[in-house]
């Protein structure tokens, strides 16, 4: 295109776009046309460069602009291309207007859709007032489509980032709320004792702040003392040890600030001063961290040692017979022979074998415990004369057990005391567990504690070294038809139970063809078969379900007719033989009981039998008081000093402390 047509084209564009103003002058025509004084001044130095960037093919040419003056006459003004401000934009005459209108419309829409970044995503621009909805697009300059697009993109990125941050903030808040709700649900308000939230010491949440501070100071003092010793800083080392010892004496046995010795706060201030000096002289982050880690590991090791010692002492206390309980059978046995009671036979033999009566089986070597079971059952029975108690004990306690019930017979009930050694059929050739107890491996396990041959070594098997696992009294429950061949049903009771209600209705319970009637103990994932049996062994995993519900041994109603029909004792013998190396379960009677009576146990109502009084201090007292039988299973037996104090009264009410034998042995103390 030649220069002349191009010049005519620009003159035409200027005539079309030029505004008509009465205040414009020839010298300021360019600046008044664009209303961009500041913009023009700021970029005046770069005009030629900008022009070349916008349209590098064009030369610096003259432009003629027309306008009307105050009198209405048309005037002409001549100016150079370089004198134009940046607000002038080169456009393609074919589509320039359309692109400008489109870009302006997009910019307007972007301003209208740009919200105020509130948390509520439902908030829209329509909810604001008309004045707020108005968005003024700066008219100071005409932007290129590229600039408009970049601005729109920046706004879109800003909106997207804001929405992302808002969503993350909302998710974080929801996570915090969910965690707080979960923590609240897991809070156990039934735990009582020293840490109960209802105790007075919790009125002040910082009641032990000084105590905690002093304990932390002692820890840091020990760490810095080790560092000071390694760096031969004797003065600081001795000062730290001295203040640590003084703080320890000031703390004593205190568990809160109110129990601290007088002057404890002064000790804490003095210790803080010494620690400040130690920090200035010895602080090294990596070195202090290393020392604290060593101290933590050492403390954990000491805690583990103390736990093992505690477990051992608890087991020892549970196995040890207190002096009064040791005295009682000695006094009874002496009088049994001295007073000629050994010459008397059992009374009421007809009742002992009458299947129409209510028969109980109690296997125990504890005279006092057996007496509580009998006394509590009789006192709560509606027809005591129809109740027959079959007590089996060992040779050592037979005389004492028989003497007690001869001199203290329960009201109108019948008592039979038997010696397990009189059962000649119970021998190692017939009884699997007897044969195993006589084996060298079992003797090694029990009598060479430092070199046990069990599956898991150490404190895990400590409870299985209880003498009850060596006693056949514990396994006699699997031979009930042989012990009582003429009975149809019998109620088995452990010697650590207390009866609180008449048990007569148990004999009329329909067991639905099952052999054993018992209360199930599984709650959620607790006390199921996988807790007692080794399901890594295919003999167990192929025959039993790990989710099968466990049940309680301690109060069981047995159908002896169905027992004989299904050969339950034979099933027990077969599994005992397979477990001779103790790979299927550890010692005890509950695991083989679960196996022997698998799918042969009828679940009784939970109200018949409440367990856990020998290990769980947080049981529901209402359930205990309403239960027909309460069971002190665990180490904290009611006749030991270990007993949970709030449960002991349920058992002690059936002990006759005015009995002369109990007074002689000081059992009332």
Domains of the chain by residue range: 207-316, 321-450+457-663
* Residue 369 pLDDT: 95
* Residue 201 pLDDT: 43
Q: Which residue has the tokens 């190396």?
A: 581
Most confident range, picked from 176-190, 288-302, 324-338, 346-360 = 324-338
CA nearest 224: which of 288, 297, 296, 298? 288
CA–CA dist 489, 509 (Å, integer):
11
* Residue 254 pLDDT: 83
3-state helix, strand, coil in the chain (%, to 5): 55, 10, 35
| Residue 667 banded pLDDT, cuts 50, 70, 90 | confident
CA–CA dist 515, 517 (Å, integer):
7
* Residue 669 pLDDT: 61
Most confident range, picked from 215-219, 427-431, 483-487 = 483-487
463 against 316, higher pLDDT? 316
Cβ atoms of residues 532 and 591 within 8 Å = yes
| Residue 194 banded pLDDT, cuts 50, 70, 90 | very low
* Residue 208 pLDDT: 75
pLDDT > 70? residue 101: no
Least confident of 378-392, 426-440, 527-541, 573-587: 426-440
**DSSP letter, residue 431:** -
What is the average per-residue pLDDT within 123-152? 57
| Residue 361 banded pLDDT, cuts 50, 70, 90 | very high
Averaged confidence pLDDT in the chain: 77
Span between the terminal Cα atoms of the chain, in Å? 126
CA nearest 86: which of 60, 139, 48, 59? 48
What is the average per-residue pLDDT within 255-276? 86
* Residue 88 pLDDT: 54
**One-letter-per-residue 3-state SS of 488-502:** CEEEEECCCEEECCC
Cβ atoms of residues 303 and 620 within 8 Å = no
CATH architecture of 321-450+457-663: Alpha-Beta Complex (3.90)
CA angle 628, 634, 639 (to 5 degrees): 80
Other Cβ atoms closer than 10 A to 93: 9
609-610 vs 516-518, strand pairing mode: unpaired
CA neighbours within 13 Å on the CB side: how many for 586? 17
436 against 544, higher pLDDT? 544
Cβ atoms of residues 140 and 37 within 8 Å = no
Cβ atoms of residues 15 and 9 within 8 Å = no
CA neighbours within 13 Å on the CB side: how many for 20? 8
629-631 vs 497-499, strand pairing mode: antiparallel
User: What is the four-CA torsion angle of 556, 557, 563, 564, rounded to 10 degrees?
Assistant: 120
Dump pLDDT digits (tens) for 6-39.
444 444 444 444 444 444 343 444 434 344 444 4
Positive or negative, the Cα torsion across 353, 359, 362, 367? negative
Least confident of 46-60, 112-126, 442-456, 644-658: 112-126
| Residue 195 banded pLDDT, cuts 50, 70, 90 | very low
CA–CA dist 33, 50 (Å, integer):
19
Helix/strand/coil for 337: helix
Which token pair is 609? 């039998």
Phi/psi for 260 (5° steps) reads -70, 150
Least confident of 15-29, 82-96, 136-150: 15-29
pLDDT > 60? residue 382: yes
Cβ atoms of residues 400 and 333 within 8 Å = yes
What is the average per-residue pLDDT within 95-121? 45
Dump pLDDT digits (tens) for 606-632.
999 999 999 888 899 999 999 999 999
Dump pLDDT digits (tens) for 465-508.
555 666 788 899 999 999 999 999 999 999 999 999 999 999 99
pLDDT > 80? residue 152: yes
Bridge partners for 417 per DSSP: 391
């Amino acid at each position: 295109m030649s220069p002349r047509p191009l010049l005519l084209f620009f003159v035409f564009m200027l005539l079309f776009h030029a505004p008509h103003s009465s205040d414009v002058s020839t010298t300021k025509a360019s600046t008044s046309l664009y209303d961009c004084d500041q913009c023009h001044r700021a970029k005046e130095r770069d005009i030629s460069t900008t022009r070349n960037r916008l349209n590098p093919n064009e030369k610096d040419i003259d432009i003629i602009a027309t306008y009307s003056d105050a009198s209405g006459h048309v005037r002409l003004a001549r100016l150079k291309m370089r004198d134009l401000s940046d607000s002038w934009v080169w456009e393609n005459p074919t589509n320039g207007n359309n692109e400008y209108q489109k870009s302006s419309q997009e910019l307007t829409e972007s301003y209208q859709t740009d919200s105020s970044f509130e948390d509520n995503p439902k908030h829209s621009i329509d909810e604001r007032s008309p004045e707020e909805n108005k968005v003024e697009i700066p008219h100071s300059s005409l932007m290129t489509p590229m600039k408009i697009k970049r601005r729109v993109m920046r706004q879109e990125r800003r909106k997207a980032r804001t929405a992302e941050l808002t969503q993350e903030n909302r998710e974080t808040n929801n996570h915090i709320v969910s965690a707080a709700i979960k923590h609240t649900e897991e809070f156990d308000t039934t735990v009582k004792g020293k840490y109960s939230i209802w105790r007075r010491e919790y009125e002040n949440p910082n009641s032990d702040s000084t105590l905690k501070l002093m304990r932390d100071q002692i820890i840091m003092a020990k760490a810095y003392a080790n560092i000071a010793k390694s760096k031969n800083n004797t003065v600081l080392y001795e000062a730290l040890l001295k203040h640590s010892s003084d703080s320890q004496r000031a703390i004593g046995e205190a568990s809160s600030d109110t129990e601290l010795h007088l002057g404890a706060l002064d000790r804490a201030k003095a210790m803080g001063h010494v620690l400040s000096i130690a920090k200035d002289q010895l602080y090294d982050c990596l070195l202090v961290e290393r020392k604290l880690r060593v101290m933590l590991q050492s403390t954990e090791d000491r805690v583990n040692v103390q736990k093992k010692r505690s477990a051992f002492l608890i087991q020892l206390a549970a196995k040890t017979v207190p002096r009064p309980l040791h005295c009682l059978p000695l006094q009874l046995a002496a009088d049994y022979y001295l007073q000629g009671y050994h010459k008397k036979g059992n009374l009421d033999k007809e009742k002992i074998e009458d299947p129409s009566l209510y028969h109980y089986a109690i296997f125990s070597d504890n005279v006092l415990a057996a007496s509580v079971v009998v006394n509590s059952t009789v006192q709560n029975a509606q027809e005591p004369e129809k109740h027959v108690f079959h007590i089996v004990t060992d040779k050592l306690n037979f005389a004492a057990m028989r003497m007690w019930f001869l001199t203290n017979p329960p009201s109108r009930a019948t008592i039979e005391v038997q010696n397990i050694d009189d059962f000649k059929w119970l021998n190692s050739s017939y009884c699997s567990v007897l044969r195993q107890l006589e084996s060298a491996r079992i003797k090694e396990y029990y009598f060479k504690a430092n070199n046990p041959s069990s599956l898991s070594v150490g404190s895990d098997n400590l409870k299985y070294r209880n003498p009850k696992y060596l006693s056949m009294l514990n396994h006699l429950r699997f031979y009930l038809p042989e012990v009582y061949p003429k009975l149809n049903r019998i109620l088995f009771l452990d010697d650590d139970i207390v009866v609180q209600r008449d048990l007569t209705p148990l004999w009329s319970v329909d067991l639905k063809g099952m052999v054993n009637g018992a209360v199930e103990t599984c709650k959620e994932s607790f006390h199921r078969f996988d807790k007692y049996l080794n399901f890594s062994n295919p003999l167990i995993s192929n025959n039993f379900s790990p989710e099968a519900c466990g049940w309680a041994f301690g109060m069981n109603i047995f159908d002896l007719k169905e027992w004989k029909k299904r050969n339950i004792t034979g099933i027990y013998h077969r599994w005992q033989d397979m477990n001779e190396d103790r790979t299927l379960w550890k010692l005890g009677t509950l695991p083989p009981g679960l196996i022997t009576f698998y799918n042969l146990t009828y679940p009784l109502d939970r109200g018949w039998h409440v367990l856990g009084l020998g290990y769980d201090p947080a049981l529901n007292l209402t359930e205990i008081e309403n239960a027909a039988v309460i069971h002190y299973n665990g180490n904290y037996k009611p006749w030991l000093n270990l007993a949970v104090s709030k449960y002991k009264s349920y058992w002690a009410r059936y002990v006759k402390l005015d009995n002369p034998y109990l007074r002689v042995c000081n059992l009332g103390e």
